[in-house]
Structures are given as C-alpha cells and as structure tokens.
Structure 1
Amino acid sequence: MNSKKVRRIMRDNDLNPERKHRYTGTTDSSHDSPIYRNVAKGFEVHGPDQLWVGDITYVAIGTGFVYLAVILDAWSRKVVG
C-alpha cells in the first residue's frame, strides 16, 4: 500500500493528522552590518570559470539541522565546492 492510498483512506474516514512543522529560522535581517549589492546581476557568462555562485541552506536531521553550502559554476551549473 502506498502513501497516496493511505492518505485517501484517512481522508475518507475524516482522519486528518496534524503535521509537525519543523521550522528553524536561520536568517537575522535586523542587524547593523552592511548589505552588499549583487555584483553578478546582469553579468553575461560565455564559458566556464567566469562566475561562481553560492548558496547556503539547512537540512533537517534527527537531532536538529545541519548547514549545507554549495558553490556552482554559473555557466556549466556544476558543483565546484
């Protein structure tokens, strides 16, 4: 039995469990530090290794969460680091 069937059976029997939302705020926007402009906006990439972009997020695990940071080559979309 797959999850769709379980959800359908539960819905048919008016069983609607409350889902536990695990939200952790990771951004503090109320600070006095400088906010830097996006220097890559409008930058045209014509080959590899001209522009690297990065992002950071978090991944929930059983004991909390861990950060995941990635650096991508903007042209090939391959992970650099």
Structure 2
Amino acid sequence: MIQSSLTNEGIRAGRYRVRSLMKEASLVCCQPGPHKYKIAKSEHIEVPNILSRAFNVSQPNHFWCGNITYVWSGSRWIYLAVVMDLYARRVVGWAL
C-alpha cells in the first residue's frame, strides 16, 4: 500500500526501502488473521442426506452433488458454485 502510494506520486521505492522508512517512522505492518470457518454441529433439518455417502452410483444423471466456496480475488470475495455428476465424475455446471 505504501509502495503503491509512493509510486502514484512519482517516487520510486522498492519494498526494502519502504521497510526501512517504516522502521524509521515506527510504523508496524498489521496483517489480518486467518479466516475462521464455522463448523456444522448437526445436519440441516430441511435438507436430508439421501445419498448417505454412497458415491459409487450405477447410472448417469441420477445423483448430482454440489459445493459452494469462495475465493479471494485481491479486492473482494468471489463465490463459486459447482455441480458435479457423480457417475461421470465431471462438472455439470458452475457459476461465479
């Protein structure tokens, strides 16, 4: 952030120079901590587990599974949803 601010003002300074300047000014870099995920303590009541972890299915397009995750894109979180056919083990669809 400081390096990019200096660059925008036309001042060339590498990361080691910025580190030295920050040390002189008694500035300390503060990084955010790791993300804390919530752990599900029980299965959701309205969504029953009909598959019961039997992932070896005998016919295509009979069982699909999905997942939603999020990826940090540098300035914000982007959510990724993926649906997969368990027979073919291939992605059927996804949305970002």
Shorter-chain TM-score range: 0.5 to 0.7
Kindly tell me the number of residue pairs found equivalent between the two proteins: 59
TM norm structure 2: 0.48
Q: What residue ranges of structure 2 are gaps of 5+ in the alignment?
A: 1-30
Q: What residue ranges of structure 1 are gaps of 5+ in the alignment?
A: 1-18
Q: CA RMSD in A?
A: 2.9
TM norm structure 1: 0.55
If you compute each CA radius of gyration, which structure gives the higher value, 1 or 2?
A: 2
**1:49 and 1:61 mapped to 2: Cα distance?**
33
- Structure 2 equivalent of residue 40 of structure 1: 51
Moved more, 40-49 or 60-69: 40-49
Q: Which has the higher helix share?
A: 2
Q: Percent identity?
A: 34
The structure, 1 or 2, with the larger RCO (C-alpha pairs under 8 Å, 6+ apart) is 1
- Structure 2 equivalent of residue 61 of structure 1: 73
